[in-house]
Chain A
Amino acid sequence: MSTSDYVVLTEGLQKRYRETQALDGLDLAVPRGLVFGLLGPNGAGKTTAVRILSTLVRPDGGRAEVAGHDVRTQPRLVRRRIGLTGQNTAVDDNISARQNLVMFGRLFHIGKAAARQRADELLAQFGLADAAEKTPKKFSGGMRRRLDLASSMILAPEVLFLDEPTTGLDPAGRREVWQAVGELAAHGTTVVLTTHYLDEADKLCDRIGVIDRGRNVVEDTPSGLKRRIGNERLEIVAADPGDLPAIEMLLGKVAADGRTPTLDETTLAASVAVSNGVTALTEVAAELRHRDLTVADLGLRRPTLDEAFLHLTGERPTDDLEVSK
């Protein structure tokens, strides 16, 4: 790949805020047309990276090119080629959805008639045509976010930056936003998004860059990331909490070298990494029948991104993760 195939390219990006080294030599290469996820715990530097790439803050060191232009020396050229949807929904609640889009169209300098036409196109594209004349005050969280996304798509940007696009949304709202982002990506927009929801990264992204303390940890596809921690897991959900100790012991027998089963007292699920899934599954099934233990569920599963993340950064990301599962 030549450098022009990358829409976002950074080298050794540095940014310091007083005592915190927000970015400490971040390298990114985002190929055109992909959905690229920046995944990391709070304070990992995800937002700082997006703010630098969208020309909001200047880096202290290193180089960043977006859509072929340097963010530091050619910010005006970058701004014509990007869209930004920040952490807060920048929607004006006191004017209608259409007026919001027309206003942004005018600020993008496309002219009055084109701004109106573009507003109608975007309202249709984001499924907001019926709500065009309403003020966003009465919108659901998902609708507000879709209007927010539409506002950053006025110029059909080469790259769209989304900073935690679904934080604070209910499950329905998250699905709406995922669908909208998926459609944008299908039409060829490169999307760079930050998230600390692992399921979101798993669902939306073609590639994921895991970052921690302002540095790259690893970059891979979602399934590649999961493969990195290797083994499949065998999971048993107990029908009776009293059976958990016995189940734990059974799993311990088939565990891969040096692994111990993990228990979740609330879901009654116990799981362990195994080196050969099918063998372990048949062994455990036979044992269960032999002991006449009834279980709610028994199965093999690939490791989740949660586990990949834990494995890669050596820490639990954030408490929010529990909510996202």
Chain B
Amino acid sequence: MSMLRLAPDTSDTLGSRVRWAVADCWTILIQELTHLVRQPSTFAWQLGFPIVMVLMFVYVFGSAMDVSGQGAGEGYLEFAMPGLFAMTMAFGFMNTAFAVAMIKEKGFIDRFRSMPMASSAVVTGRGLSDVIHATVDLAILVAIALVLGWRPGGGIAATLSAFALLLWLRLALIFVGIQLGLMVKNTEAAGNLFAVAFPFGMVSSVFAPPDLMPGWLGAVAAWNPVSSTAGAIRELFVSPAVSSGYWIEQHAVAAAVIWPAVITAIFLPLAVRQFQRLGR
């Protein structure tokens, strides 16, 4: 056969492994980004939900809510927008879980694992592309918020820190998404995760202050990691918010740094273990 004879790189040192782990991650990342570029409608579908939510809350329910202590509806846009950003990041784990369930279902994970590539790239490439995806999501939401009249009240440093905290939350939830995506049987089951995600996103300070909720529910909402990120970025955007009695709400920025770290500390090892379990 007149075929070019291929000699793959056979060196097996630590250096070459690291080099390939990076190269393979890059290859997977490029593949994932090609999807996004080829199918920009993905963004429309995924952002449809938060956009509908914001319109509903700002213009339907929000007018009845007194979030600033200055009367119903006052300052609700400033209150809800940061909440919406945090919620979109929180629900992002569904995208990760769905994508992971998809590559598992389609046999990509099997093929990748039977190849001499770095298997970590399946996860690192996925994670990087999700962070890039989330950044684009945020940019679109911010543009919509600006059109609706929302303005960040802090300086440039505070505003950038707020977006960094949002992506920090999204990054931590990638590991949750990978764990769940590997755990569920198929993409259909991954889609059903929304039933879990919805209360997790909603029982929080995203659209309503926990102070307005019944005692125990308010406590759950206040301690929700999504609330911490929402509260922290409200501080950084200088949005109006009634100060509540919950200790964690008064330390929102610290909580918004720590919560994702805790989530990562729990779910990163779980996701790695789940990935290794594929070999059992």
Contacts and interface: CB of A to CB of B under 8 A. Distances in A.
Interface string A111-131: 000100110010000000000
Max count, chain A CB within 10 A of own CB: residue among B3, B38, B115: B115
Contact of B114 (A55, A58, A106): A55
Interface residues of B, number: 36
Chain A contact-residue range equals 35 or more
A194 interface: no
Given A58-B280, A108-B8, A152 B35 contact: no
A20 to B, nearest CB: 14
Given A56-B279, A94-B39, A151-B111, A108 B31 contact: no
A94 B34 contact: yes
A86 B114 CA distance: 10
A187 B9 CA distance: 24
A56 B110 contact: yes
B114 A84 contact: yes
Interface stretch (A2-10, A75-83, A167-175, A214-222): A75-83
A86 B9 contact: no
Interface in B3-54: 3-6, 8-10, 12, 20, 23-24, 27-28, 30-31, 34-35, 38-39
Given A55-B113, A84-B114, A90 B6 contact: no
B3 A152 contact: no
A257 B8 CA distance: 61
B31 A90 contact: no
A88 interface: yes
B114 A117 contact: no
A298 interface: no
Given A84-B110, A94-B38, A118 B117 contact: no
Interface of B: 1, 3-6, 8-10, 12, 20, 23-24, 27-28, 30-31, 34-35, 38-39, 105-108, 110-117, 121, 278-280
Contacts of B280: 57-58
A17 to B, nearest CB: 9
A132 interface: no
B107 A110 contact: no
25 contacts: A57-B280, A58-B280, A76-B12, A80-B10, A84-B114, A86-B107, A90-B107, A92-B31, A94-B35, A94-B38, A95-B35, A103-B30, A107-B28, A107-B112, A107-B117, A107-B121, A108-B8, A108-B115, A109-B116, A114-B6, A117-B4, A121-B3, A151-B111, A155-B8, A187-B1
Contact of A56 (B10, B34, B106, B114): B114
B20 A109 contact: yes
A99 interface: yes
B111 A84 contact: yes
Contacts of A90: 106-108, 110-111
Contacts of B39: 94
A154 interface: yes
Contacts of A51: 110
B116 A76 contact: yes
Contacts of A91: 106
Given A83-B114, A95-B35, A108-B8, 9 more contacts: A51-B110, A56-B113, A82-B114, A88-B110, A94-B38, A103-B27, A107-B117, A108-B117, A154-B6
